[in-house]
Amino acid sequence: MTALLYALGVVVVALGIAVSIALHELGHLVPAKAFGVRVTQYMIGFGPTILSRRRGETEYGLKAFPLGGYIRMIGMYPPHKGDAPGTIREDSTGLVQQMSRDAREWEASQYDPSEAHRTFSALSVPRKLVVMLGGPTMNLLISAVLLAVLVCGIGLPSTSTTVESVSRCVLPASAPAGTSCEGRQEAPALAAGIRPGDRILSVDGRGIDEWSDVTTAVRAAGGSRIDVVVERDGARKTLHATPILDQRPKIAADGSAQKNPDGSIATEKVGFLGIGPGQELQRSSPLEVPGMVWQTFEGTARIVITLPMRLVDVAQAAFGDGERDPDGPVGVVGVSRLAGEVASADQPEFDLTAKVSTLISMLASLNMALFVFNLVPLMPLDGGHVAGALVEGVRRFVARLRGRPDPGPVDMSRLLPLTNVVALAFLAMTVMLLYADIVDPITLFP
């Protein structure tokens, strides 16, 4: 049964990625066709074609390795303007110029000159931007929809006012897990009769709406006897507890433990009771979705910006003695393994709702990563074409201001050497992540 659930998790995420890629390419296809560009292929995957069908002037198909996709539009590079008879072409004297010329000539051979007005290079700058941003925008929308399902439909994990754990004894805040209670003072909560499952209604006469209210009231009541009203088995029960004064971590505004300049946890002497909160899924208003999308975007952008350094860490973990960062980049194999672990997890906290929520969250994060990564202004990514269109717009604007002739579209074929280098770098990154995910995988349950 565990193996079947593991396989189901892998299949679900694989299908989610495939659908995300298909919709990304659809985001390019629809505006391109709407603007009259002839699209010859719409393909999901790379390598040999295993299934295809032609509808109108476009071939729709599936390739052997569904790790990406593309649409092919005619005239991605502008044709050569031509030279006067007897002149030597400027682009025939160097490797880069030759590569550019060959690419333009190959592009021009794929369509009849009468269709020049239907090429991508013939589009206006705004239309080029719409076509190239259509794919990443689709991924952004998918991520936003999935996050909305999480926030408004399923709910996000939140601390409840129900007690989940009661300490047996008083241990120092720095004590490692598993420290024995032998010879230790009994925890005040245990002495007061507080049990897991009790819902805290009030502490020292203060009504409790969220767990932070419990923390505030207990920390302020160190050394004093207080009443703790709980709901147990549907009935109200008043218990009497005396929180002890103890060195506990300082709490920051965001609820995390404050740290000293040297990295150690800052402490203060406050009341300690010895109870821990449970978790519950809390639905929020749709108004919370934009903030969640922005938070996901910020986190993903930080990862993309620091990707070179993170890849160095991955290489050190895969080929040396370094440790794999659990929040670092993973490849297709790594994502599949994590999805399988989520689906087959038998921990009590991972019920069906938690598993579905986690898988949806993974797909939302993957689509946000596709959105951000494709906006990197390097060819062959969509961001490279966007940058080219923006440069073209600036050139034409400056030419109009100076009363000069239209300089025409930017010839992106001149960036082919850089494009090839970037493509090889992406391939190397993919292979390294594949290797790292096999020999030193990130796991959900170490």
Catalytic residues: 25
Torsion of CA 102, 28, 332, 8, to 10 degrees: -140
Count other Cβ atoms within 10 Å, centred on residue 114: 7
Distance CA 176, CA 180 (A): 10
Q: Which of these, 46, 13, 15, 42, lies nearest to 26 by C-alpha position?
A: 42
Plot region of 210 (φ>0 → left; ψ -120 to 50 → alpha; else → beta)? beta
> Which structure tokens are listed for 142?
């998918």
Count other Cβ atoms within 10 Å, centred on residue 148: 17
> Which structure tokens are listed for 360?
């949806």
Distance CA 176, CA 195 (A): 23
Distance CA 429, CA 426 (A): 5
Amino acid letter, residue 300: T
Q: Are the CB atoms for 310 and 322 separated by under 8 Å?
A: no
Phi then psi for 416, rounded to 5 degrees? -55, -45
Residue pointed to by tokens 């299949």: 11
Q: Is residue 78 classed exposed, middle or buried when 0-12, 13-18 and 19+ CB atoms within 10 A define those classes?
A: buried
Q: Are the CB atoms for 275 and 163 separated by under 8 Å?
A: yes
Omega of the bond leading into 380 within 30 degrees of 0 (cis):
yes
